[in-house]
Structure 1
Amino acid sequence: MNVDAIIIGGGACGLMCAVQAGMLGKRVIILEKSEKPGKKILISGGGRCNYTNIYIEGDEYISNNPNFLKSAFKQWTVEDTIQFFETYGLTGEEKTLGQLFPTNKNAKDVVKIFTQLCDELGQDIICNAHIIEVKNLDNGFEVIYNAGIKEEKLKAPKLVIATGGLPISKMGATDYALKFATKLGLKIQPTAPALVPLTITGKDADWYAKLSGNSVFCRVSNDKISFEEQILFTHWGLSGPAILQISSYWRPGEYINLDFLPDRSIQEIIENERINNGKWLLSTLLNKFFTKKFTESIGLYLPLEKQLANLNKDDIEKIQRTIHHFKVKPAGDKGYDKAEVMRGGIDTAELSSKTLECKTAPGLYFGGECLDVTGWLGGYNFQWAWASGYVIAQNL
C-alpha cells in the first residue's frame, strides 16, 4: 500500500492524527490491537466521554518537563477541540470544574465522528492487528503484523506510536510503546498508575470499610497540592474525584490530609452554635454537615455525646484536628486496571516539542499517553491526546 504513515494505536491520539493527516491529503493506516478503535474513549466518563476541559492552562499536567506541552497546546487549543467536534455535530455542556461532556450524545458518538471521517478521507483502520516486528529502513519503516491468518507487511516513510499507557489491560492496553522506546535506547521516566483509587490496610481498614458508599465533599492535600471535590469511602479504602486527583501526586509511604469542612472552621461553628444551642450534642451539630453514618464513624475519635456548652479546650482542639486535619496513610493503589491513566512514560527530552518527532530516529513520532505527560481528571488527558495527534499529523 502506498501510504504516508503507519499509525500503531487506534485510540484518541491515533484517530485524531489519522483524521488530521487525511485533511491535509496524506494517506495513513491505523493498526489497532483491539477488535474496534477507541475502546478507552468508549468507557471514559462512564460512557459519556469528558472530551476536554475549558479551564486548561497547562499547569494541570505532571511531567519531568512541564514546558514541553506549550508548543502542542498553542498549535491545538481547547477552542480547536470544541470547534472540531461542533463542526461534526457534537456540542458540549460544562459540568463540574470546566469538564465538557457531549450534549445529548455520548462516547459512541465521539468515536463515530472519527471512524466516519477516516472512512470519508480514505484512512484505513485495521483492527485485531498484533504487531510482530518493526524495522527501521533507510527510507522509512516496515511493520510486520498479524490481523488474521497470516503475517502482513506495511511500509511507509513515517511511523507513529500512539498505543497509550498501561491502564486498562482489558481495554487492550499494553507496554508496547515503552518496550519499543527502550529498544531504541530512549529514556523512560518511571511509570505508575495515576488517577487511581487508594487502598487502606491494617488496623484502620475496618473503619473505612464500614463507611463504604458514603461520599463527602472534602479538601484532599499533601505537601505538593490540594483538590476540593468529593471523596468516596469504599470497602478497600478511598476513591472519588479528589482521591483520584491526589493519587497522581502521592507516593507510597506518604500521608495525605483530609479536610471534611473546607472553607469553614468547625471551631467557629461550635462557638457560634453554643451561644443559642449550648445543649445540643456534638453529634447533633455534625449531623447538619454529614450523614448520620459518617458522624457515627468519626465519633470514634470525638466526644459525640457531649453538649456544645460543655466542650473544653482539649475537646475543641481534637474536633478541629479530626475534621480539618484527618491524616491518612494509604497502603497502596488499586493498580493499572482501576487507573484512569499512567504516570511517567517516554521522556519528553527524546522528542521535538514542536513536532513530537523522535530526535534520534527521523520519521518516528510518539503521541498521547505513552509520553511522560499526565493530566488531571476531567478532560485534560483527552486534550493532550487530541493536541499531540494534531501536531504529529502536521509533520507527516
Structure 2
Amino acid sequence: MDFDTIIIGAGAAGMMCAAHSGGRTLVIDHAKAPGEKIRISGGGRCNFTNLGTTSVNFISENPHFCKSALKRYTQWDFLDLIGAHAIAWHEKTLGQLFCDESAKQIIAMLLKEMERAGAELWLKTSARKISHDGARFHLSVERDGTQVALSARNLVLASGGKSIPKMGASGFAYDIAQQFGLGLVETCPALVPLTFADQRYAPISGVAVPAVACANGVAFEEAVLFTHRGLSGPAVLQASSYWSEGEDVVLDLDPKGTLFTHLRSARTEQGKRDVTTVLTQVFPARLVQHLSEEMGITGRIGDQSDAALEALCARVQGWVQRPTGSEGYRTAEVTLGGVDTNGLSSKTMEAKTLNGLYVIGEAVDVTGWLGGYNFQWAWSSGWAAGTAIAASKV
C-alpha cells in the first residue's frame, strides 16, 4: 500500500502534522486509542498551551532551534483552532490554559482536523521494519496480527520519548532516527519527582508550601510537595529538568522574604513563646517539626538576637538537599534530550541528510517547562513539518 506520508505516532504532534500534510497520509500507532497523553494530561482537562510561550521556556542543546516553529505557529494560532471548534477554556496560574470540560475535546478536534485533511488512522498497528531505497520509505507493519507492507515518500517520527512507559512510550523514534544517520542527545527523565534513599520526608508526606526550588542555577517559584519518596510539586518538577544526579537542589521556603520581619515582631509581642511555635504561624506544623529537628531550632523567640534570627532565615531560604535520584521515566512528564537538532531543519523539521524524513514533538531534543509548553511544541513542530510536506507536493 502506497502513501505520500506515513506518520508514526498518533499523539499531539503526529495528529497535528497529519492535519496539515495534505496528500494521502497515514498515521499509525500501536495504542488502542489516539492521543492517550493528551487524555490524561492536566488532570483530564489538558493544559494545552501557555499564553507566555517563548523559546526561553525550552531546553535544548541548541536553544535557538525551536524559535522558527514557535514563531510561525504560536499559542494564539492554536487558540484560534480551539475557538473554531467551540472548545471552552480557562486560564489558571502563570498563563496555563485548560479545557473547561475535558481533554477528550482536544483529541476529538484533532481527529476532525485529520478527517478534514483526508488522513487515515490505523490503531493497534506496530512498525516492525523500516528501510529506504533512495526514493521511498518501506515499512513492514503488524496490524491485527497481519503483516502489511507500506511505502511512502515521507516518513514522520512522532512517537515521542521514553516518559510514562506504561502508556507504551519507548525509544522507538530514537532507534529509527539513528538507523538513518541522525544523532542523539543523551536522554533522561524530566519534569519528574526527586527521591531520597532514606525517605527523609515520609513523616511530612502530603505537606505542600509555596517555595523556590533551584537546580544548577535555575530557580522556579511555585509549590513544593513533600512525599514519602522525596520532593515533588511544580517547583521541584521544573527544577528537575536542570538537575543531574549528584547535584544539590536548594529550597527557599521564604520566597517573599518576610520571615525575618515576622520573627522580629514576634520577639517583641510573643517573647515567651518557643521559636518553633512562632514558626507554625508561617509554616505547617509538621514541616516546622521536621525543620527544628534537622536545623536544631530551639529556645524562646524572646531570647533570639537579630543575628540568630537572620541565621535561621538564611537556613530556611537556602535549605540545601541532595536527592539520590528521581522517580524515572515511570512518572516523568517528558523526556529531556532526544534526536539531535543539528541534523534537522528548524524550519521544516526534515532531516538534512535524508529527504522525506521528519522528526517532531517530544522525540526531538526540545523540552518545555511545565505548564503547557510541551504541547505547544507538539503543535508548532507538527504544523511546521505538515505544512512543509504539503508545500513539497505543490
TM-score between both structures, scaled by the size of structure 2 = 0.95
| Contact kept in structure 2, 1:303 and 1:315, CA below 8 Å | no
**What residue in structure 2 maps to residue 288 of structure 1?**
281
Q: Tell me the secondary structure at the aligned position of residue 330 of structure 2.
A: coil
Q: 1:278 aligns with which of 263, 271, 282?
A: 271
- Corresponding letter in the other structure for 2:279: L
**What residue in structure 2 maps to residue 11 of structure 1?**
11
Q: 2:134 aligns with which of 138, 144, 157?
A: 138
Pair 1:129 & 2:125 matched: yes
CA distance in 2, matches of 1:277, 1:142: 78
CA distance in 2, matches of 1:280, 1:119: 69
**What residue in structure 1 maps to residue 219 of structure 2?**
226
Moved more, 376-385 or 141-150: 141-150
**What residue in structure 2 maps to residue 169 of structure 1?**
165
Pair 1:374 & 2:371 matched: no
Q: 1:58 aligns with which of 55, 58, 72?
A: 55
Pair 1:251 & 2:264 matched: no
Alpha-carbon displacement from aligned partner over 1:165-213 (angstroms, at most 9, x marks no partner): 00111111111111111222221111000000000123xx3x3110111
CA distance in 2, matches of 1:359, 1:137: 17
| Contact kept in structure 2, 1:302 and 1:318, CA below 8 Å | no
Q: Tell me the secondary structure at the aligned position of residue 377 of structure 1.
A: coil
Alpha-carbon displacement from aligned partner over 1:251-283 (angstroms, at most 9, x marks no partner): 111111111110224223222332233233212
Indicate the RMSD between aligned Cα atoms, in angstroms. 1.5
- Corresponding letter in the other structure for 1:174: S
- Corresponding letter in the other structure for 1:83: D
Matches within 5 A, 1:41-56: 41-56=38-53
Matches within 5 A, 1:159-198: 159-198=155-194
Pair 1:29 & 2:26 matched: yes
Alpha-carbon displacement from aligned partner over 1:344-380 (angstroms, at most 9, x marks no partner): 0111010011111100110110000011000000000
Pair 1:347 & 2:344 matched: no
Q: 1:158 aligns with which of 135, 154, 157?
A: 154
| Contact kept in structure 2, 1:266 and 1:319, CA below 8 Å | no
CA distance in 1, matches of 2:247, 2:71: 36
CA distance in 2, matches of 1:213, 1:377: 21
Which aligned runs of 4 or more in structure 1 are off by greater than 4 angstroms?
A: 302-305
Structure 2: runs of 5 or more not aligned:
390-394
**What residue in structure 1 maps to residue 392 of structure 2?**
none
- Corresponding letter in the other structure for 1:75: R
CA distance in 2, matches of 1:394, 1:356: 11
Q: Tell me the secondary structure at the aligned position of residue 395 of structure 1.
A: helix
CA distance in 1, matches of 2:216, 2:67: 26
| Contact kept in structure 1, 2:190 and 2:336, CA below 8 Å | yes
**How much has 1:136 moved relative to structure 2?**
0.8
CA distance in 2, matches of 1:37, 1:222: 35
**How much has 1:116 moved relative to structure 2?**
2.7
**Distance change (3 Å), C-alpha of 1:303 and 1:256:** closer
CA distance in 1, matches of 2:371, 2:141: 35
Moved more, 185-194 or 148-157: 148-157
CA distance in 1, matches of 2:388, 2:306: 67
CA distance in 1, matches of 2:37, 2:294: 42
CA distance in 1, matches of 2:8, 2:295: 57
Matches within 5 A, 1:200-219: 200-202=196-198, 205=199, 207-219=200-212
Q: Tell me the secondary structure at the aligned position of residue 47 of structure 2.
A: coil
Q: 2:110 aligns with which of 96, 110, 114?
A: 114
CA distance in 1, matches of 2:277, 2:58: 42
CA distance in 2, matches of 1:314, 1:302: 16
Q: Tell me the secondary structure at the aligned position of residue 39 of structure 2.
A: helix
Q: Tell me the secondary structure at the aligned position of residue 29 of structure 1.
A: strand
Amino-acid identity (%):
39
| Contact kept in structure 1, 2:264 and 2:306, CA below 8 Å | no
Alpha-carbon displacement from aligned partner over 1:275-309 (angstroms, at most 9, x marks no partner): 23323321232111111111122121456552221
**How much has 1:32 moved relative to structure 2?**
0.6
**Distance change (3 Å), C-alpha of 1:303 and 1:145:** closer
TM-score between both structures, scaled by the size of structure 1 = 0.95
